[in-house]
Amino acid sequence: MAVLFQKPIDYLKGVGPNRAQLLKKELGLHTLQDVLYFFPHRYIDRSQYFTPGQIPKTTAEVQVLGSITHMETVKQKRGSRLVATFSDGQHSIELVWFRGHQWIQKSLQLNKPYIAFGRLNWFGNKCSIAHPELEFLEDHEQRKGNFQPVYSATEALTKSGISQRVMRQIIGHLFEEIGSGIQEVLPNHILKQYQLVDKNTALTTIHFPENQEGLAVAQYRMKFEELFFVQLQLGLKKLHRKQHLKGIPFVEIGQYFNSFFHNHLPFPLTEAQKRVVREIRADLKSEAQMNRLLQGDVGSGKTIVAVLCMLMALDNGMQATLVAPTEILAQQHHTSISKLLKPLHVNVGLLTGSVKKSVRTPLLEQLADGSLPFLIGTHAVLEQSVTFKKLGLAIIDEQHRFGVAQRAKLWRKNSVPPNILVMTATPIPRTLAMTAYGDLDLSVIDELPPGRKPITTIHRLDSKRLAIFQFMREEIIKGRQVYVVYPLIQESQVLDYKDLMDGYESIVREFPLPDYQVSIVHGKMSAEDKAYEMERFVSGKTQIMVATTVIEVGVNVPNASIMIIESAERFGLSQLHQLRGRVGRGASKSYCVLMTGNKLSQDAQTRIQTMVRTQDGFELAEVDLSLRGPGDLMGTQQSGVLPFLIANLKKDGHVLKSVRHAVDQILLQDATLSQEQHSVLRAALTLTQQGKSIWKYIG
Ligand code: ADP
Ligand code: MG
> pLDDT of 281-326, one tens digit each?
999 998 888 989 898 888 889 999 999 999 999 999 999 999 998 8
Range name among 34-38, 103-107, 424-428, 487-491 with the lowest pLDDT average: 487-491
Q: What's the confidence (pLDDT) of residue 634?
A: 42
Q: Angle of helix 679-690 relative to helix 212-244, nearest 10 degrees?
A: 80
The stretch 61-83 carries a mean pLDDT of 91
Query: What is the Cα–Cα distance from 329 to 327, expressed in whole angstroms?
Result: 5
pLDDT at 692 over 60: no
Matching CATH topology for 255-285+301-424 and 456-614?
Answer: yes
The stretch 553-577 carries a mean pLDDT of 88
- The finding on whether 304 has its CB within 6 A of some atom of ligand 1 is yes
Q: What's the confidence (pLDDT) of residue 698?
A: 28
If one compares 400 and 604, the residue with the highest pLDDT of the two is 604
> pLDDT of 6-49, one tens digit each?
889 998 888 988 999 999 998 889 999 999 999 998 888 777 88
If one compares 12 and 551, the residue with the highest pLDDT of the two is 12
Q: What whole-number percentage of the chain has pLDDT above 90? A: 52
pLDDT at 600 over 50: yes
Q: Which residues are CB-contacts of 273 (< 8 A; sequence separation ≥ 6)?
A: 301, 304, 305, 445, 447
The residues pairing with 560 across neighbouring beta strands, listed in sequence order, are 481
Q: How would DSSP label each residue in 442-489?
A: EEEE--PPTTPPPPEEEEEEGGGHHHHHHHHHHHHHTT-EEEEE----
Atom of ligand 1 nearest to the CA of 305: 6
If one compares 54 and 147, the residue with the highest pLDDT of the two is 54
CA distances from 454 to 296, 372, 480, 531 (A): 17, 41, 17, 30
Element (H, E) at 45: strand 42-45
Q: Which residues are CB-contacts of 97 (< 8 A; sequence separation ≥ 6)?
A: 81, 82, 104, 130, 131
In the reported structure, the alpha carbon of residue 611 is separated from the centroid of ligand 2 by a whole-number distance in angstroms of 21
Q: What's the confidence (pLDDT) of residue 687?
A: 65
Cis peptide, bond prior to residue 558, ω within 30 of zero: no
Length of the chain in terms of residues written: 699
Q: What's the confidence (pLDDT) of residue 684?
A: 84
- The finding on whether 421 has its CB within 6 A of some atom of ligand 1 is no
Q: Which ligand is nearest to the CA of 559?
A: 1
Q: What's the confidence (pLDDT) of residue 159?
A: 78
The stretch 253-270 carries a mean pLDDT of 95
- The finding on whether 196 has its CB within 6 A of some atom of ligand 1 is no
If one compares 151 and 551, the residue with the highest pLDDT of the two is 151
Three-class SS of residue 123? strand
Range name among 17-31, 198-212, 403-417, 499-513 with the lowest pLDDT average: 403-417
In the reported structure, the alpha carbon of residue 302 is separated from the centroid of ligand 2 by a whole-number distance in angstroms of 6
Three-class SS of residue 50? strand
Atom of ligand 1 nearest to the CA of 397: 4
> pLDDT of 228-238, one tens digit each?
988 888 888 88
Nearest CA to ligand 1 atom 4: 302
Q: What's the confidence (pLDDT) of residue 690?
A: 47
- The finding on whether 267 has its CB within 6 A of some atom of ligand 1 is yes
pLDDT at 198 over 60: yes
The one-letter amino acid at 435: T
Cβ atoms < 10 Å from Cβ of 90: 8
Q: What whole-number percentage of the chain has pLDDT above 70? A: 91
pLDDT at 635 over 80: no
In the reported structure, the alpha carbon of residue 282 is separated from the centroid of ligand 2 by a whole-number distance in angstroms of 23
The residues pairing with 420 across neighbouring beta strands, listed in sequence order, are 291, 394
Q: How would DSSP label each residue in 618-647?
A: HHHHHHHHHHH-HHHHH-TT---PPPPSS-
Q: What's the confidence (pLDDT) of residue 636?
A: 33
- The finding on whether 298 has its CB within 6 A of some atom of ligand 1 is yes
Give the side-chain half-sphere CA count within 13 A for 344: 28
Q: Best substitution site from 267, 309, 397 to test ligand 1's pocket, by max atoms within 8 Å of Cβ?
A: 267
CATH 2.40.50.140 fits 47-144, yes or no: yes
Q: Which ligand is nearest to the CA of 299?
A: 1
Q: What's the confidence (pLDDT) of residue 633?
A: 43
- The finding on whether 336 has its CB within 6 A of some atom of ligand 1 is no
Q: Which ligand is nearest to the CA of 337?
A: 1
Q: Which ligand is nearest to the CA of 296?
A: 1
Query: What is the Cα–Cα distance from 652 to 220, expressed in whole angstroms?
Result: 9
The stretch 410-424 carries a mean pLDDT of 88
Q: What's the confidence (pLDDT) of residue 694?
A: 39
CATH number of 456-614: 3.40.50.300
Instruction: Name the average pLDDT for the chain.
Output: 87
At residue 128 the predicted structure's pLDDT band, cuts being 50, 70 and 90, is very high
Q: What's the confidence (pLDDT) of residue 643?
A: 62
- The finding on whether 296 has its CB within 6 A of some atom of ligand 1 is yes
Atom of ligand 1 nearest to the CA of 296: 2
Residue 491 carries which DSSP code?
A: G
Range name among 417-431, 580-594, 629-643 with the lowest pLDDT average: 629-643
Query: What is the Cα–Cα distance from 153 to 337, expressed in whole angstroms?
Result: 58
- The finding on whether 617 has its CB within 6 A of some atom of ligand 1 is no
Query: What is the Cα–Cα distance from 395 to 528, expressed in whole angstroms?
Result: 25
At residue 137 the predicted structure's pLDDT band, cuts being 50, 70 and 90, is confident
The stretch 635-644 carries a mean pLDDT of 44
Nearest CA to ligand 1 atom 5: 301
In the reported structure, the alpha carbon of residue 4 is separated from the centroid of ligand 1 by a whole-number distance in angstroms of 60
Cβ atoms < 10 Å from Cβ of 680: 17
Q: What's the confidence (pLDDT) of residue 432?
A: 66
Cβ atoms < 10 Å from Cβ of 614: 14
pLDDT at 71 over 70: yes
C-beta separation of 567 from 487 below 8 A: yes
Query: What is the Cα–Cα distance from 699 to 693, expressed in whole angstroms?
Result: 14
- The finding on whether 270 has its CB within 6 A of some atom of ligand 1 is yes
> Terminal CA-to-CA distance of the chain, rounded, Å?
6
Atom of ligand 1 nearest to the CA of 306: 6
The stretch 481-490 carries a mean pLDDT of 86
pLDDT at 427 over 70: no
Structural domain spans, the chain:
47-144, 255-285+301-424, 456-614
Q: What's the confidence (pLDDT) of residue 693?
A: 41
Burial of 163 from C-beta contacts in 10 A (0-12 / 13-18 / 19+): middle
Query: What is the Cα–Cα distance from 271 to 447, expressed in whole angstroms?
Result: 8
CATH 3.30.479.30 fits 255-285+301-424, yes or no: no
Atom of ligand 1 nearest to the CA of 558: 14
Burial of 103 from C-beta contacts in 10 A (0-12 / 13-18 / 19+): exposed
C-beta separation of 485 from 519 below 8 A: no
pTM above 0.95, yes or no: no
Nearest CA to ligand 1 atom 11: 299
Range name among 75-79, 155-159, 442-446, 692-696 with the lowest pLDDT average: 692-696
Q: What's the confidence (pLDDT) of residue 699?
A: 24
In the reported structure, the alpha carbon of residue 300 is separated from the centroid of ligand 1 by a whole-number distance in angstroms of 6
At residue 489 the predicted structure's pLDDT band, cuts being 50, 70 and 90, is low
pLDDT at 170 over 80: yes
